[in-house]
Structures are given as structure tokens and as C-alpha cells.
A = this chain, B = another copy of it.
Amino acid sequence: MTQATSLMRSLVVLLALVAFNSYAAPLPSWQEGSSKSAIIKFVSNVTDPHSKSYVAPAQRIAVFDNDGTLWSEYPLYFQAFFIFDRIKALAPQHPEWNTEEPFASVLKGDLKTALAGGEEALLEMMAATHAGMSDTEFTALVKQWITTARHPKTGKLYTDMVYQPMLELLNYLRAQGFKTFIVSGGGIEFMRAWAESVYGIPPEQIIGSRIKTKFEMKQGKPAIVRLPELEFLNDKAGKPIGIHQAIGQRPLMAFGNSDGDMQMLQWTTAGEGARFAALVHHTDAKREAAYDRDSHIGKLDKALDIAKTQGWTVIDMQQEWKIIHPEKR
């Protein structure tokens, strides 16, 4: 076989693979239903060069909330478990935590009391455990935790509690030329430590809440040091601001699951031309959790009303997802 023939054969194989990939039915874990067809219809429309709604790849931006949209969040954000584990690990260096709330309750295992102070208590614990080290050190801590810690209820690794249908959606959109971004209220560096291997989303496409940092020379080496002060809360009206800062263009598609995502979806759909917004509705008490208007986590109330008047897609997890989390790998 000549080199040219061999090369040609490789090309034919490659071409066959590409063709197979394009024609494989997308979103296999989604039931044939209104959400799946709405997604595919929208994507086909904006990627068809002959469509009036055609959008060039450079503007095909899709944004995803993380907690409750790409992975589970009930009954408590996974990052909160990381915070609790950090408090336990750091307790020997902080004898005052034995009597100081909310730390004392965390150390006693009484999470209900620890979280009685709501978001403020959580932010206080985040500042106390996520700062005072370099960015490199923090990333190493998260990586160590995310590959070993297990969810108290399911016993699974947290990264095994991502949503299989959403993984397929991310892949489908990228195959259609979209750039996928996370836009989450969660900590940006917490997510960046593992999101690329789990979702295929690189660090520069992750937007989140962040604490202050400063640049300094430490023992003659430059370092970025994490400070115990919140700098930016990427939630509610913060989400369009976070998108504006980091992406600088309005998304074409936005996916969320709570009132914290409402402004992101409003901002997205108010753009010119075709736009798409969807809410993941947690309706599956048996396979995951059922919650919306009265939930303390992932409250979905106003945004659910707006979805109806604005024609946003509401994804009914119980009805529309064949699988919730990936099957054992």
C-alpha cells in the first residue's frame, strides 16, 4: 500500500466516523417530548445556513447554571459539603470554632443549626475556609476532595451526580458549533478544579462567584493569594453582569432551574433574533427530588410564572428524562 493510498483510507475512515457522529440520534436519554423537540428545532434553525435565523458559530453561546441544572443540589449545594469538610479539617488550628457559630454546629454535625443563618452563614464559612492560600493550593484541595468525598445520601462521588441528559445536551451543542459556558452562583475556582474533565468545559468558560485575590511575590515567586472577602456574587442580577464581564456577548441559549437564573434567562431572550431559554424542573421525588416554589434550595417560583408567559421551555425531569445520573461506569 502506498503512502497516498494509506492516507486516503484513513480519510475515508475519518469521514465515516464524522458521518456516523452527525447522524447518530442526539439526546438519547431524553424522552421524545416537547423539551427535546424544542431544543433540536431551535438548534437546527440557528445552524442552518439557509435559515433566516442562522447564527455564525462565533455567536453560538450557550450558558448553563450548574447547581440543579448540570448536577444535583438537593438538599444542599455540594460545595457546602466541601465547606463542612474543610471546617472539620481546619478545626485543630481553630480552637475558637468549638464555641463559635456556625462553626460549632458544623463540628457537632448539626447542619440545620449551622445553616440557620442562611446565605450569610454559608458565605462566612466559605470565606473562612476558601481563603488564606494561593490559587494553586486551593485547586489542589478541591481536586483531592472531589475525587474522594461522597454524597451523604447517595454514597456516590459528587461528579457521578451530574445529569446524564445534560451531558448529552452539552455534547450535542458543541457538536453543532456552540461554545458552552457555566454561569453559576457557585465558587468559580471550586468548579474550575473539576469541570473540564466532567463537563468538557475549560476554565476560561466558567463564570462563578469569587472572593478577592491579590497578586504578590512570595519568597521571590509571584503568587495569587485568596482573601477572605466576597468580591462578586454571580447570582440573580449578578448573572447577566457576570456574562457581560466574561463573555461580552449575549447568549443564544440559557439553561437554569431556579429564580436565581431568572435574570440570565430574561437577558438572553431579550436579544435580537432567535433565542432559547429553558428551566430544569425538579419533579422527580423518586429518582432525585421534587421541589420548586417553597424550596429553601433552588427555589423556582417567579421564573416558573415567567416561563409560562414568555414561552420558555420547562423540562419536566420526571416525564422527560429517561436517566437522571449516569449509570455505573
Q: Which of A83-91, A115-123, A237-245, A282-290 contacts B (4 or more CB under 8 A)?
A: A237-245
Is A270 in contact with B222, judged by CB distance below 8 angstroms?
Answer: yes
CB-nearest residue of chain B relative to A205?
B204
Shortest Cβ distance from A304 into chain B, in angstroms? Answer: 18
Q: Which of A39-47, A72-80, A96-104, A213-221 contacts B (4 or more CB under 8 A)?
A: A213-221
Is A215 in contact with B248, judged by CB distance below 8 angstroms?
Answer: no
Q: Quick one: which of A1-60 are within 8 Å of B by CB?
A: 7-8, 11, 15, 58
Q: A215-B241, A224-B241 are in contact. Are A248 and B204 (CB under 8 A)?
A: yes
Is B196 in contact with A215, judged by CB distance below 8 angstroms?
Answer: no
Complex CA distance for A58 and B267, rounded to whole angstroms: 30
Q: Quick one: which of A175-232 are within 8 Å of B by CB?
A: 179, 188-189, 192, 196, 202-206, 210, 213-216, 221-222, 224
Tell yes or no: A246 within 8 A of B by CB: yes
Q: Number of A residues whose C-beta is below 8 Å from B?
A: 39
Residues of B within 8 A of A189 (CB): 248
Tell yes or no: A249 within 8 A of B by CB: yes
Is B222 in contact with A204, judged by CB distance below 8 angstroms?
Answer: no
Is A267 in contact with B204, judged by CB distance below 8 angstroms?
Answer: no
Tell yes or no: A111 within 8 A of B by CB: no
Is B11 in contact with A246, judged by CB distance below 8 angstroms?
Answer: no
CB-nearest residue of chain B relative to A224?
B244
Residues of B within 8 A of A224 (CB): 240-241, 244, 267
Is A241 in contact with B221, judged by CB distance below 8 angstroms?
Answer: no
Which positions in A face B, CB cutoff 8 Å?
A: 7-8, 11, 15, 58, 61, 135, 179, 188-189, 192, 196, 202-206, 210, 213-216, 221-222, 224, 237-238, 240-241, 244-249, 263, 266-267, 270
30 contacts between A and B (CB under 8 A): A8-B8, A8-B11, A11-B11, A11-B15, A135-B244, A179-B204, A188-B245, A192-B248, A202-B249, A203-B247, A203-B248, A203-B249, A204-B205, A204-B246, A204-B247, A204-B248, A206-B248, A213-B241, A213-B244, A214-B237, A214-B241, A215-B237, A216-B237, A221-B270, A222-B240, A222-B263, A222-B270, A224-B244, A245-B246, A246-B246
